[in-house]
Each structure stands twice: as structure tokens, then as C-alpha cells.
Chains A and B, each alone.
Chain A
């Protein structure tokens, strides 16, 4: 799944909400909450975590956790298909 490395690379999303309240509580606490913009910088190997940028701060976040964030894409990134 090396090709997934480039999925959404450099895309920017705006967070609109969360699908899971427990995860939401955790993410909000560290500064990931609705209204914030997520820029995807890179991704670890084999379906690993995302390296993201929010307001100049960096976070690591799992693929699964990313799926549980509802968001709209506001800038398209590089997709490799």
C-alpha cells in the first residue's frame, strides 16, 4: 500500500465535527476542533499515521482517527492513483 502514501498529500480540510464523542473529547483537548484547518503534510509507511499541520503546530494522527473527523476539503492536494 505504498501508493497510499500520496493520498490527499498537502490537501487542506476544515473540521466540521466528529463522529465519535470520546475521540472528540481527546482531540479537542489538544487543539483539534471544529473550525480549525488541517493540512496533510505526510504519511507514515503501510497505512500508518498522518503528519498534519494545524496553525503551524504539528500532530500525528491515525488513519482511523482521521476518518472519525467530519471535514470538508478546501484545497486539493496531490493524489496518486
Chain B
């Protein structure tokens, strides 16, 4: 039932309704609204009950195991939300930030410093609203760097074929042509292909390490050498930093520019799809190009650098200073972990992933890279089931929902047929992993004996499989009152 179906003409949440002033606005009539927007008319309890009930139709980290690969669905500590929601932070107007928001700026400044230390970068800007925007900023900085050197022929961005879709999308939004680089049988970048791909047209390469295939590219230094020798720069997509936080730094691997997804490694909420935050970090070469604002400390006061002080900056990417509320949550998280806590994130997310992989293989599942160690996530392929029982990875995923766990990422990376990308994260216990293995084994048995059970799954959720073709052919994107 939609909130609109609960609406009754004349009902209202009266505690929220200001008195009718009776005066008409001092605005010419032709600029005024003549129609009533079709917003619902409900009581406060109606609204609270409706949206509380809707929330109960979600799987979430707080309620379910959520091994969605590449998304790092770990526990979001309540304290981070609580402290970022202190009235002193919430009520600060963005234009009063320097004048009245020194407490906020202190946190943001220290976060910049800590992220630079964690990633081995010379400087960080917190401005970007999400990972994809961080990618865009990174690409734009690479472009600005080459242009300032009059190196205008560098129009091509290299992206491994296993990369996340935002990488090529960001590169083309940044004005580059995208050239794909192949992956070798071990899941590493194919060095021979890379050698052939680089040249005077190469602006840079966008890499995730550990890669989207869940393995650490051991040849990263060689890759860095090849690209740097060709005059290109290395861009690090921080999607998988959880695997190496506190152990290996992108800066030490040879990367020139990075972005981080705070909602992954630093436990800020995913919120049903945002808000994210995508800070970018750079080495010395790219410092002048960092997006604004960058926060600096003058004596005991914090302030934001302006365009005049950073004339080569790629500019501003969001209206104000970035997703401050998200940044403060990450700040609290890092302060609670310290270096040792961060290193444990890498260790235990890796331990959980390798343990889970091992147990799933024992239960009869096929790993995509049996010869490799898993990083914080790994891939299994269900291609045998697809072939022998006509059960797809999607069918399997839907059946998992019936057992009360969220499905792993399916059909990504595109290179591996019928794949599951599984990321358990460090905050799950051994019991949770063992329970997941039992469920997977159970469904595997079902797939072999009763494949229709999977093909028609889920059976126990609020809705069964949805008609996506109908949704796309005849889009119903907004409620229309009769």
C-alpha cells in the first residue's frame, strides 16, 4: 500500500502544521501555484507506521548477513551516527563554517591528515560526494596535469576489462577515450597487453588493487613502471582498500592519485544507496590540482583554501564542503580503530574471506581463481549448475534470500560466467560464516534435486520475482491519483 492510498482529504500531522496566517503572499499572481501538489494527507502516526513497516521489508546489515561483494557491507557503528548527529554539528550552516564551525573543521582537517597517512599520499581533499565523483575528480586532475605541461596528446585512459563500470564512465565524463586492458589467467593485469597499450597517447590507468576479481595484483610495481615510463599516471580506485588498510598503501605501490569510498572501508552507512563520500588523495605531482575546498590550519584556526590560493585546482565538485556528516562518521571510526585497529580490519576481512572460500570449496563450489589467495572477497562460478541443471547464478541468489541472507554480488565482474562475488567483511563471526556455508550447501543440493525451487525463488519475501521487462517497457515511475 502506498502512502498515497492512506491519504484522506483534510487529515494532517497537526503538530507540524503552522497556523494559517490568512495573509496572501506579496508575489504577483501569475507566479503563484494554482494546483495542489499531490502530497499525501496523513497523520503523524500514519506516516511513522507506514515508513516503519516499509523499513521491515528491507534486508540490511543490522538484520541480515549481507555478503555483497565489492560493497563492504560491514557493521556501521551506532556511535558514529550518534556523534555526527550532535546538534553542534547538525545545526552549522555551510556558509558559517569558518566563522562558527571550527569544531567541524578540526575534525575534517584531521581526517584529511589521517587519510593521507593511511594511503601514503601527500594531500587529500574531502570534497567529493561519492566514489564515482572521486573517480571523476581523479581523472580531471590527471587531465589538468597533462594540460598544464602542454602534453595534449594524452587522450586515452587505460581501464582493465574487469573494472567497475564507473571507471570507464568517469573516464569518458572526464573527456578521455577508454582503452581496455586484458586480464591474465591469474586475474592480474596482462603485462604484455599493457606494454602494447601504453604510448604517448596514454594519460593514465585506473586500477583497483586488490582487483574486482578479489586478488592482489603482485605486479603492481611493474605496472606502475610501465605506465610511468610511458608518461602516464596511476589512478587507484579505493573500492577494495578494506583488504589492505593499515598494511599496504597505494602511495607505496606507485599510485599518483586515489579515491576512497568511506561507506566501504570506513564504515559510513550505505543508506539504501548513499550518501557516500569519496575523498581523493594525491602525490606531490598532483597537489596543485586537488578539488576545493581543502582545509588548512593557520595557527589555531582552520579555514578553507580558495581558488586564488590554488589557481590550478580542478575546482569545486559540490555546492559546499562535501558530505560533512558522512566525513565526521568516518573520522569517529578511524579514531576508534587507530593503526592497529585498521590493520585488524585488513587481517580479519582477509581471514574471513579465505576461510569462507575454503569452506565453500569443501562444500562443492568452484572458485574462479583456485590458484590464488583471496583478498577480502572472492569469486565462485556456478557455470556447472547452469550447464547441468539450468540453474543460473541469479536463481541461486534469489533462493539465498529465502534463507534470510542477502545475496552476494551476481554477474560482476563480467569476465567470469555465472559468478558470485562474495565479501563477508571482518565484522561477521565464524558462526555467521559457517551458517552461510550450510545454507549454500543446502541450496546446492536443491539445485541438483529440485531446480524449480530455485528458478521460482524467492518464495518467502514480500514479493516474488518481479517483471523487469514490463517495468522497462511500460515505465510506471510515479503514482498518479485517479
Is this pair of chains taken from one and the same complex?
Answer: no
- Which residues does B use to contact A, with CB under 8 Å? none
Taking Cβ atoms with an 8 Å cutoff, the residues of A that contact B are none
